[in-house]
Amino acid sequence: MVVDAADGVEIRGALARLRRTTGLPVAFGGLVESGRHQVRISELSGTATAALSALAVTSGNGLGGKAVALSRPCAVTDYSVSRQISHEYDLPVAAEGLRSVLAVPVVVRRRVRGVLYGALRTAQPLGDRTLDAAVAAARDVEQALVLREQARTLREQALVLWERAGEPPAAARPRPAGDPADNAAWERVREAHAALRALAPRIADPALRDEVLRACGLLAADGGPAHQARPAPRELDVLACVAAGATNAAAAERLAVRPETVKSYLRSAMRKLGAHTRGEAVAAARRAGWLP
């Protein structure tokens, strides 16, 4: 798995939250390098030296390597004398003055993708509250990585489907019944568009969110008559779900809102589009180029 610079931003944010919620003076971490069974320490928070920077931690070695190998959190009260771990990294750990250390793996789809560490410069037990906070920080990173991967996959699938449909984005309009293969391709385009629109609001990284929304724009003409009020982004999200065949309940689950909220967005979109039914609203949005 290629390590993305944006993924490092997620690690950095998680480390900052970990220190803020626990009071730990030091936190650091990194992601698994592509094609290797090791984690490269890329993010440091609260460190006094560069001893841990770019350190490569091999699976099974040291505390972090043990967490990677076991795919579960591990902790030691006094790193340099602990009998629970091997001691390949004693020198950089001692150079930073760390004693009590915990390591929590970042696991996505049963694969360890990275490790978050928290540490004290004194030898004392790290309590359950600290461990729970570290696990929560790792879960935040896991969710961000999953969303990022989903966004990239959907974006790539959407572009492939658009190419197979064989028309430029500006011509994205409902087609008359014809070749079943063409109709099936356009239905997949519409499903991809709905999935991308549902995913975009959940992405914390602004650059990636913009990429996803640009991909949505490629799948629809994104125009519309100048005199017609454009539905708001969340109204379009709901319309995209409805266009893909989702019920109000299914759209609510996909968009992480209440069914009543979906109904409200849908009513507002229908009013702007001059539609009396869900189907009329979808058709109007497609004619305007706001949906593929």
pLDDT at 209: 76
Residue with the larger pLDDT of the pair 234 and 209: 234
Q: How would residue 36 be classed by pLDDT, with cut points 50, 70 and 90?
A: confident
Return contacts of 35-40, CB within 8 angstroms, 24+ apart.
37/68, 38/65, 39/64, 39/65, 39/68, 39/114, 39/115, 40/3
With respect to residue 131, please indicate whether it lies within any of the assigned structural domains: yes
What distance separates the 2 farthest-apart alpha carbons in the chain?
74
Q: Is the pLDDT of residue 148 over 80?
A: no
The pTM is what? Answer: 0.61
Query: Do 206 and 247 reside in the same domain of the chain?
Result: yes
Q: What is the pLDDT averaged over residues 170-184?
A: 46
With respect to residue 248, please indicate whether it lies within any of the assigned structural domains: yes
The pLDDT tens digits of the residues spanning 87-131 come to: 999 999 999 999 999 999 999 988 999 999 999 999 999 999 999
Query: Do 111 and 205 reside in the same domain of the chain?
Result: no
Q: How would residue 34 be classed by pLDDT, with cut points 50, 70 and 90?
A: confident
What CATH number should be reported for the domain holding residue 119?
Answer: 3.30.450.40
Q: Which domain holds residue 75?
A: 5-144
Query: Do 123 and 184 reside in the same domain of the chain?
Result: no
What torsion do the CA atoms of 217, 218, 219, 223 make, to the nearest 10 degrees? 50
Residue with the larger pLDDT of the pair 180 and 137: 137
Q: Parallel, antiparallel, or unpaired: how do β-strands 74-76 and 56-58 relate?
A: unpaired
Q: Is the pLDDT of residue 197 over 90?
A: no
Q: Is the pLDDT of residue 30 over 70?
A: yes
What share of the chain has pLDDT > 70, as a percent? 82
Query: Do 10 and 138 reside in the same domain of the chain?
Result: yes
Q: What is the pLDDT averaged over residues 11-16?
A: 91
Query: Do 131 and 203 reside in the same domain of the chain?
Result: no
With respect to residue 196, please indicate whether it lies within any of the assigned structural domains: yes
Q: How would residue 183 be classed by pLDDT, with cut points 50, 70 and 90?
A: low
Q: Parallel, antiparallel, or unpaired: how do β-strands 100-108 and 26-32 relate?
A: unpaired
Q: Which strands sit side by side in the sheet containing 56-58, from one edge to the other? A: 56-58, 38-45, 26-32, 111-120, 100-108, 74-76
Q: Is the pLDDT of residue 224 over 70?
A: no
Q: What is the pLDDT averaged over residues 203-214?
A: 75
With respect to residue 91, please indicate whether it lies within any of the assigned structural domains: yes
Query: Do 123 and 180 reside in the same domain of the chain?
Result: no
pLDDT at 21: 94
Query: Do 10 and 137 reside in the same domain of the chain?
Result: yes
Q: Of 144, 175, 203, which closes a domain?
A: 144
With respect to residue 135, please indicate whether it lies within any of the assigned structural domains: yes
With respect to residue 202, please indicate whether it lies within any of the assigned structural domains: yes
With respect to residue 105, please indicate whether it lies within any of the assigned structural domains: yes
Alpha-carbon span 270 to 228, nearest angstrom: 12
Query: Do 277 and 180 reside in the same domain of the chain?
Result: yes
With respect to residue 275, please indicate whether it lies within any of the assigned structural domains: yes
Residue with the larger pLDDT of the pair 229 and 233: 233
Query: Do 16 and 87 reside in the same domain of the chain?
Result: yes
The pLDDT tens digits of the residues spanning 64-94 come to: 999 999 999 999 999 999 999 999 999 999 9
What CATH number should be reported for the domain holding residue 218?
Answer: 1.10.10.10
Query: Do 207 and 102 reside in the same domain of the chain?
Result: no
Q: Is the pLDDT of residue 177 over 50?
A: no
Return contacts of 172-175, CB within 8 angstroms, 24+ apart.
172/219, 172/220, 172/221, 172/289, 172/292, 173/221, 173/286, 173/287, 173/289, 174/283, 174/286, 174/287
Q: How would residue 285 be classed by pLDDT, with cut points 50, 70 and 90?
A: confident
Q: Of 112, 144, 176, which closes a domain?
A: 144
Q: How would residue 286 be classed by pLDDT, with cut points 50, 70 and 90?
A: confident
Q: How many domains, in total, are found in the chain?
A: 2
Query: Do 20 and 112 reside in the same domain of the chain?
Result: yes
Query: Do 16 and 131 reside in the same domain of the chain?
Result: yes
Q: Of 144, 177, 204, which closes a domain?
A: 144
Q: Is the pLDDT of residue 252 over 50?
A: yes
